[in-house]
Amino acid sequence: MGLGCTHAVGLNAFLAQVVDVQASIGQGLPGFLITGNPDPSAREAKDRVRAAVSNSGFKFPEMKVTVALSPAEMLKVGSGFDLAMAVAVLAATGQAGAEMLPATVFLGELALDGGLRPIRGVLPAVIAARAAGFRRAVVPRASVTEAALVDGMDVGGADNLADVVCWLEGVRTLDTVNDVPVSPPPPVPDMADVVGQHEARHALEIAAAGAHHVLMTGSPGIGKTMLARRMPGILPSLATEESLEVTAIHSLTGSLSPGHPLITEPPFIAPHHSSTVTALLGGGTGFAQPGALSKAHRGVLFLDECAEMGSKVLDSLRQPLEEGEVRVPRRDGVAMYPARFQLILAANPCPCAPAHDVDCVCSAVVRRRYLGKLSGPLMDRVDIRVKMEPPGNTALMTGTGESSADVRARVVAARAAALERWGEHGWRTNAEVPGSALRQRFRLPPATLKPVELFLRDGRVTARGADRALRLAWTLCDLRGADQPTENDVAEALMYRDRGSNW
């Protein structure tokens, strides 16, 4: 009879929880039973663990082996419990030291020969372990760089189960570096490549300064996609907390670069226009994977040819845009992922989309129906609307655009002003400020609010739209370096919302 106890971490969407892994060796017919609500991949661990223990030079007990994963009500998803199970069995049979087990979490999938394979979600798992009071983590060596991003944790990487047992016995140390060479992050295209389109460039600068959403319409090849792809280059770099949060989401999808796992710049996600609601919000069988909205967290979500997308797909954006998170209903509960992103929509003005608008053969009804997929409630959440015109020949041949570095400097200064103003209230950007705060605690003088009152009286803006216009006015104020918006700032903000209302 023997009992061994180790610790792993279970993931449920973006939430992670430490799981106690207990292995009991007792009387009865030889067998291997896993309890504690494992999913099929976790249940199959009994075959992987048995083979890995035997092929690593240890003796698997010819008795009844019961492994309990607790808390039992939590669904255990994935193969990340393999290493913890194997170490618990070896500790229960006296083949592995138990002194280091209480303060260590074990993460990793076992191959049949005892090798350790990387798993998804190592970063959020190690963060959860640190929050629970653990100070050591053993992971596959391929995941060391990712796990080491968490301060305050001693991380060791192993190639196989035998290395872990030798570490527990005190006869060797685990690796703390990955063999994969460090690679630089991919370069971001520069705004200097864009010539002309001064209005659209200025609109994106305003959007970046206040984290506002943008709609760009114009004929094909006019520069909508080119501008959107350069948006991350003018956004501020991610703060340490934001960087870990974004990296943790991409860790769940398995899309981190082995040589440069930490994401320090705002991500740019551009799903295809044929994407489904599940692709945007997240989901899938069993474990709810994050969708495009969550992958774009703290970055940019670019929907090119948005008028070609389904109405239900576009309307699924409404709740995440308002609340900054995605909720995916599952059988065992609701999976929640953060999704505070900047939305950039791009569309042609009509289905035929000629190079020059005068060549359009579409009727007024067809043009209205084409952009009609962008519903009123969705467009009410888009602060800036820009109708782009073809640049002149002179601009294309001789013009040079302002660099992303110069634009980013102004954006960073504007965001710093907003953070100084809103930071004590828990808001980072103007787009996050609740409308009630703008109307009460930070209410502007009546003369400044006169344009909003006129738009509300004429029905040209909704109550939500008025709040969003005030947020945009504060951004215009920050870009000017002023202390408070003026009537001109409010009027300009309303014009950005009102442009192209008949598209």
Phi-psi domain of 324 (left: phi exceeds 0; alpha: psi -120 through 50; beta: other): left
215, part of any domain = yes
Residue 307 shares a structural domain with residue 440? no
Residue 244 shares a structural domain with residue 383? yes
Higher pLDDT, 476 or 220: 476
Q: What does the pLDDT read at residue 186?
A: 78
3-state SS, 24-83, equals: EEECCCCEEEEECCECHHHHCHHHHHHHHHHHCCCCCCCCEEEEEEECCCCCECCCCCHH
Instruction: Give the count of domains, the chain.
Output: 3
Question: For residue 124, what is the domain's CATH number?
Answer: 3.30.230.10
* pLDDT bucket at 260, cuts 50 / 70 / 90: confident
pLDDT over 80 at 243, yes or no: yes
Q: Look up residue 104 and give its two tokens.
A: 């260590």
CB atoms within 10 A of CB 202: 14
Residue 393 shares a structural domain with residue 441? no
3-state helix, strand, coil split of the chain in percent (to 5) is 40, 20, 40
pLDDT over 60 at 46, yes or no: yes
Q: What does the pLDDT read at residue 501?
A: 47
Residue 265 shares a structural domain with residue 352? yes
- Percent of all residues in the chain with a pLDDT value above 70, rounded to a whole number: 95
Q: What does the pLDDT read at residue 443?
A: 92
Higher pLDDT, 368 or 228: 228
Question: For residue 221, what is the domain's CATH number?
Answer: 3.40.50.300
Average pLDDT of the residues in 475-493: 95
Residue 18 shares a structural domain with residue 93? yes
425, part of any domain = no
CB atoms within 10 A of CB 99: 9
Its pTM stands at 0.89
Residue 349 shares a structural domain with residue 471? no
Residue 389 shares a structural domain with residue 267? yes
From 358, 389, 405, give the residue that closes a domain. 405
CB 174 within 8 A of CB 386: no
Residue 164 shares a structural domain with residue 227? no
pLDDT over 80 at 357, yes or no: no
468, part of any domain = yes
Q: What are phi and psi of 491, to 5 degrees?
A: -65, -40
pLDDT over 60 at 436, yes or no: yes
Domain assignment of residue 484, given as a range: 433-503
> Residue 17: in which H helix or E strand, if any?
strand 15-26
Residue 222 shares a structural domain with residue 357? yes
Distance (Å, rounded) from C-alpha 2 to C-alpha 215?
65
Using DSSP, state whether 86 is helix, strand or coil: helix
CB 218 within 8 A of CB 113: no
C-alpha 25: how far from its chain's center?
A: 43
Residue 253 shares a structural domain with residue 396? yes
Distance (Å, rounded) from C-alpha 52 to C-alpha 64?
18
Average pLDDT of the residues in 100-106: 96
416, part of any domain = no
Q: Which range (8-22, 177-191, 261-275, 346-360) has the least confidence?
A: 177-191
251, part of any domain = yes
Residue 137 shares a structural domain with residue 199? no
CB atoms within 10 A of CB 139: 28
178, part of any domain = no
Q: Which residues contact 270 (CB under 8 A, 6 or more apart)?
A: 228, 229, 301, 302, 303, 304
Residue 130 shares a structural domain with residue 78? yes
Higher pLDDT, 421 or 389: 421
